[in-house]
Amino acid sequence: MRADRLVATLLLMQSRGRVTAAEVAAELEVSVATARRDLEALSAAGIPVYPQQGRGGGWTLVGGARTDLSGLSAPEAQALFLLVGPAAAVSGEAKAALRKLVRALPQRFRADAEAAASATMIDPARWGDQDREKPAVVDVLQAAVVRRHRVRLTYAKHARDRSERLVDPWGLVDKDDVWYLVAGTDKGRRTFRVDRIVEVEPTDEPAERPDDFVLAAAWEEVVGEVERKRSRTTAVVLAPTRHLSVLRTHFGRHCHVEEELADGRSRVRVAAPTPLDIARHLAGWGAQVEVLEPASVRAELKRIGAELTNAAR
């Protein structure tokens, strides 16, 4: 994983002082282009990693960081752990490397580094069809999580439904390119879609966070509640086996193949909040998809078909 490579690259530079992209590539068994991108990512994040010009070239880890990483400033340490923390949450090797790096940091920086490493997590499972860029406010929210400062949000559930909230940011989750903020509010823990946050105003007010808060555990509870809401209606359909990837894109984890049939179709179980939600996803398939059950989904498809027929007259 990329987090493992970033940590390994930094440790390699710690031991050698100067490396070339080709040396990193050979050591970590990746392409030279990948090694160069990782070195550039470390440098762009504020880690004291700099390219050297001239004969020999290469990349250098400068300052006290060359020997024990204690040359890292507080912002540099936070930047490093924000880079590797998310993916490291699911990688045992990277976790071990992070623990070693934390012990190498000066005592006064360790709390911030650990906070940065746990500020963000990655959940690769999709919730339906989504393909988005990282919102610009993510970096501001990450900094607030690490520094434990409250933020004032302007949040829009819908185009005309905006509200202002003062929240305690507890952690960020990247769910397959859709970002969520887990935060404390005056009504308890809440989860906000970051792409619906219109404005973020950092404050100097200290944020409160439960001593036993663990982002991964909190997110598991959030996912459980969302999945219960998203799977209130289940349907069994026959669909072309060659198009199963499209169904999985539409329904995310709520798409389970029960049986592949000899006629080139598969028996698939899908789920969504309502019969109408399922029908909307299936309507474009026409006769290629047959709904075996329930009758409520077939009724919604019939209604949608009638509406389209009337609209075409």
Q: Provide the 10 A C-beta neighbour count for residue 15.
A: 10
SS3 at position 118: coil
Domain CATH for 179: 2.30.30.520
- Predicted confidence at residue 266, as pLDDT, reads 96
- Interhelix angle 295-312/275-282, nearest 10 degrees: 50
Give CA 107 to chain center in angstroms: 30
What integer is the mean pLDDT of 88-98? 51
Task: Say if CB 223 and CB 123 are below 8 A apart.
Answer: yes
Number of domains observed in the structure of the chain: 3
Q: Mean pLDDT lowest for which of 52-61, 182-191, 254-263, 297-306?
A: 52-61
Q: Are 80 and 100 in a shared domain?
A: yes
- Residue whose C-alpha is closest to residue 109's, from 60, 63, 76: 76
Q: Are 37 and 58 in a shared domain?
A: yes
Residue type, 100: K
- Give percent above pLDDT 90 in the chain: 30
Q: What's the mean pLDDT when you consider all of the chain? A: 79
Q: Which stretch, 3-12, 61-70, 288-297, 301-310, has highest mean pLDDT? A: 288-297
Give the model confidence (pLDDT) of 125-179 as tens digits.
Answer: 656 555 566 788 888 888 888 788 999 999 987 767 788 999 999 988 888 778 8
Q: Does residue 8 fall inside a structural domain?
A: yes
Q: Mean pLDDT lowest for which of 15-24, 71-80, 114-123, 243-252?
A: 71-80
Q: Are 182 and 235 in a shared domain?
A: no
Listed residues 184, 207, 223: the one ending a domain = 223
What integer is the mean pLDDT of 59-71? 58
Tell me: pLDDT of 88 over 50: no
Domain CATH for 281: 3.30.70
Q: Are 243 and 266 in a shared domain?
A: yes
What integer is the mean pLDDT of 26-31? 83
- Predicted confidence at residue 207, as pLDDT, reads 93
Q: Does residue 52 fall inside a structural domain?
A: yes
Q: Are 99 and 30 in a shared domain?
A: yes
Give CA 79 to chain center in angstroms: 17
Residue type, 35: A
Tell me: pLDDT of 260 over 90: yes
Tell me: pLDDT of 70 over 60: no
Q: Are 23 and 106 in a shared domain?
A: yes
Choice between 130 and 198, residue whose per-residue pLDDT is larger: 198
Listed residues 198, 223, 248: the one ending a domain = 223
Q: Does residue 126 fall inside a structural domain?
A: no
Q: Are 103 and 143 in a shared domain?
A: no
Q: Mean pLDDT lowest for which of 5-9, 101-105, 172-176, 272-276?
A: 101-105
Note down the domain range covering 49. 2-113
Q: Does residue 132 fall inside a structural domain?
A: no
Domain CATH for 14: 1.10.10
Choice between 142 and 83, residue whose per-residue pLDDT is larger: 142
Q: Are 105 and 10 in a shared domain?
A: yes
Give the model confidence (pLDDT) of 114-127 as tens digits.
Answer: 565 566 666 666 56
Q: Does residue 21 fall inside a structural domain?
A: yes
- Predicted confidence at residue 232, as pLDDT, reads 87
Q: Mean pLDDT lowest for which of 96-110, 210-224, 255-269, 291-305?
A: 96-110
- When pLDDT is cut at 50, 70 and 90, the band that residue 261 belongs to is very high
- Residue whose C-alpha is closest to residue 80's, from 64, 102, 59: 102
Tell me: pLDDT of 89 over 50: no
Q: Are 108 and 6 in a shared domain?
A: yes
Q: Does residue 198 fall inside a structural domain?
A: yes
- Residue whose C-alpha is closest to residue 5's, from 91, 72, 113, 77: 91
User: Considering Cα of 82, then 83, then 85, then 89, what sign does the dihedral take?
Assistant: positive
Q: Mean pLDDT lowest for which of 89-103, 192-206, 262-276?
A: 89-103
Q: Mean pLDDT lowest for which of 3-17, 72-86, 233-247, 261-275?
A: 72-86
Q: Are 201 and 250 in a shared domain?
A: no
Q: Does residue 102 fall inside a structural domain?
A: yes
What integer is the mean pLDDT of 253-266? 92
- When pLDDT is cut at 50, 70 and 90, the band that residue 64 belongs to is very low
Q: Are 62 and 12 in a shared domain?
A: yes
Q: Are 209 and 287 in a shared domain?
A: no
Distances (CA, A) of 115 to 146, 203, 224, 274: 5, 18, 25, 40
- Predicted confidence at residue 99, as pLDDT, reads 58
Tell me: pLDDT of 276 over 90: yes
Listed residues 223, 248, 266: the one ending a domain = 223
Q: Does residue 170 fall inside a structural domain?
A: yes
